[in-house]
Amino acid sequence: MIVDKSQVKRILVITLSNVGDIILTTPVIRVLAKEFPGSRIDVMVGPSGKDIFDKDPRIFKLIIYDKHLPISDKRRLQLKLKRLKYDAVVDLRNTVLPLLIGPKYRTSPMQTFPKAVVHKKHRHLYRLYCLGIRSLNEDLYIHIPREDEEYVDALLKENGIAEPIVVINPGAKSHLKRWAIEGFVELADRLINECRANVVFIGLNEDKDVVSSIIKKMRGEAHNFVNKTNIRQLGSLLKRTKLLITNDSAPLHLGCAVGTRVLAIFGPTNPEKYGPMGEFDVVVNKKLFCSPCESAECKYDHECMKLISADEAYEAAKIMVQGYG
């Protein structure tokens, strides 16, 4: 498709619902802002993505889409979007909405990908190829305003936390993606005792019991930041962090977006699709006959996670915190 860029003044990006998945789509917005300077970019996102975009200067309007809305409300939204007369719609959800609102240009709902294009970030960017935009190398990002940086400054000062900081995220949406509590206990204690790290645990409300259990079992003193930050403030915290240790979950992608070194623990999911991509990032996983199964159920007693030892996680983390010296 040949796109006359001078005629593209209004762009709608339909992005995803889960925080980690949304962050993986941010390179698309960055590329569009470069390719169409001066154009209005609106973003449609699920409620959990609001804090990712609502301070972003690249975005003109944020449209919060709740998939549980009544059909009548969805119809009103469709008509409203049609009246806005978008010149281009980039649909990362593969919905029928672009067909209903009739832009001049749109991404294909029947997109196929070359075998070499595996990682989700690259697949989102590849969708722009049909608009004549060929860029797979743009980075993830999140815009962090000054007030969020100042909040984290105060939070660290209040808790007496100085460098080196290691942030640990033991949670994940699926229990199958969570490494063992005992592994995190031993790993955190060794980082405190042997690397003199200040360890900070993060998570959402549903992770509070897991984090509390880990901290209670530890010999050393760690900090509990569960529910103490929004997504932008967490990004600000991770920017100051020597290392992020995480399961396959949203903080992994947020860490990548702010340039933090990431040690990712993978089990049933595929790091080639969802893993960190930084030069110094590390994935710890077990290459079993059944892994990655990418299944919501496990037939083999969660061995892909249980076989990951605290020793191998610590050895990788130690190098990432202290270097090879």
Residues 159 and 194 in one domain: yes
Residues 311 and 170 in one domain: yes
In a domain? residue 136: no
| pLDDT at res. 244 | 98
| pLDDT at res. 324 | 61
| pLDDT at res. 242 | 96
Residues 154 and 289 in one domain: yes
Residues 106 and 187 in one domain: no
Residues 79 and 26 in one domain: yes
In a domain? residue 15: yes
Joined tokens for residue 95: 């919905």
The answer to whether 197 and 317 are in contact (CB under 8 A) is: no
Task: Give the helix ranges, DSSP H, for the chain.
Answer: 19-23, 26-35, 50-53, 71-83, 97-101, 120-126, 146-158, 181-195, 208-217, 231-239, 250-258, 271-274, 303-306, 310-322
Distance, CA of 29 to CA of 254 (rounded, Å): 16
Q: Where among 108, 131, 154 does a domain terminate?
A: 131
Count up the domains in the chain and report the number. Answer: 2
Residues 126 and 41 in one domain: yes
In a domain? residue 125: yes
In a domain? residue 141: no
Output the pTM of the full model. 0.95
Domain of 192, in residue numbers = 146-322
Residues 92 and 196 in one domain: no
The residues, any chain, with a CB within 8 Å of residue 218's CB and separated by 6 or more, are 185, 188, 189, 192
Residues 22 and 156 in one domain: no
For the chain, 325 residues long, the average pLDDT of each consecutive 10-residue run is 86 96 97 95 95 96 91 92 96 92 91 93 95 92 97 97 96 92 98 97 95 97 97 98 97 98 96 95 93 86 92 97 76
In a domain? residue 192: yes
Residues 84 and 161 in one domain: no
Q: What are phi and psi of 65, to 5 degrees?
A: -110, 120
Q: Where among 83, 98, 131 does a domain terminate?
A: 131
| pLDDT at res. 54 | 92
Residues 152 and 87 in one domain: no
Task: Give the helix ranges, DSSP H, for 144-249.
Answer: 146-158, 181-195, 208-217, 231-239
Residues 255 and 296 in one domain: yes
Residue 306 belongs to a domain with what CATH number? 3.40.50.2000
| pLDDT at res. 3 | 82
Residues 14 and 112 in one domain: yes
Q: Where among 131, 159, 193 does a domain terminate?
A: 131
Q: What are phi and psi of 169, to 5 degrees?
A: -115, 105
